[in-house]
Amino acid sequence: MRCRTRSLLILLIACVAAGCAGPHGADRIGVDADTGEPVPWPYWPAGMRIHPLSRLVRDGESGQTVIEARIEFVDRDGHTSRACGQLRIDLHDATAAFPAGPVVTWEMDLRDLATNRRRYDDVTRTYLFPLDTEVDPFPQQPELRAYFLSADGRKLSEDALRLRTE
């Protein structure tokens, strides 16, 4: 009887812990029944890339150049996943002398659930960010670089993707 009570108590604690996730989502999926230790969430992003569908487009109404940046995250099994954290995308000029700083930088907070949902594209399984490019002069060979700080503290980066026009 004592063993059964103990097991029920452990199960109850695990259920309460799972139900009390923080605002950024739980990074734990429960408690190991044998050790009482938290079990880590296995699907945090382990990799990121600027997806090849990223491109330069002209806005039909304004005629302005817009970057459609698509960012893809993958978990440790190599499957696409959503992400929670802070994303920075830099636009560089590939013709500039190295090491040149970014021409312009955009910051996105994917910890904000409304932004996260709005920017995630279910069809391509990427995040889509339309980035205004009021840069004069616009780089001759525009190149994107991305940096991500995950809510669990991991840092990811993608070196460069040269953009192509339509």
State yes or no: pLDDT of 44 exceeds 80. Answer: yes
User: Which pLDDT belongs to residue 148?
Assistant: 97
Closest CA to 56 of 120, 113, 135: 135
Residue 72 has a CB neighbour count (10 Å cut-off) of: 21
Closest CA to 128 of 115, 112, 145: 115
DSSP structure string for 103-140? SEEEEEETTSHHHHHHHEETTTTEEEEEEE---SSPPS
Contact at 8 Å (CB) between 53 and 35?
no
The larger pLDDT score, comparing residue 78 to residue 19, is at: 78
- Provide mean pLDDT across the span 97-124: 92
User: Which pLDDT belongs to residue 20?
Assistant: 40
Rounded to whole angstroms, the Cα distance separating 154 from 11 reads: 30
What pTM, to 2 d.p., does this model score?
0.74
Q: Are strands 142-150 and 85-93 parallel, antiparallel or unpaired?
A: antiparallel
Q: Any bridge partners for residue 132, and if so which?
A: 66
Q: For residue 166, what pLDDT band results from cuts at 50, 70 and 90?
A: low
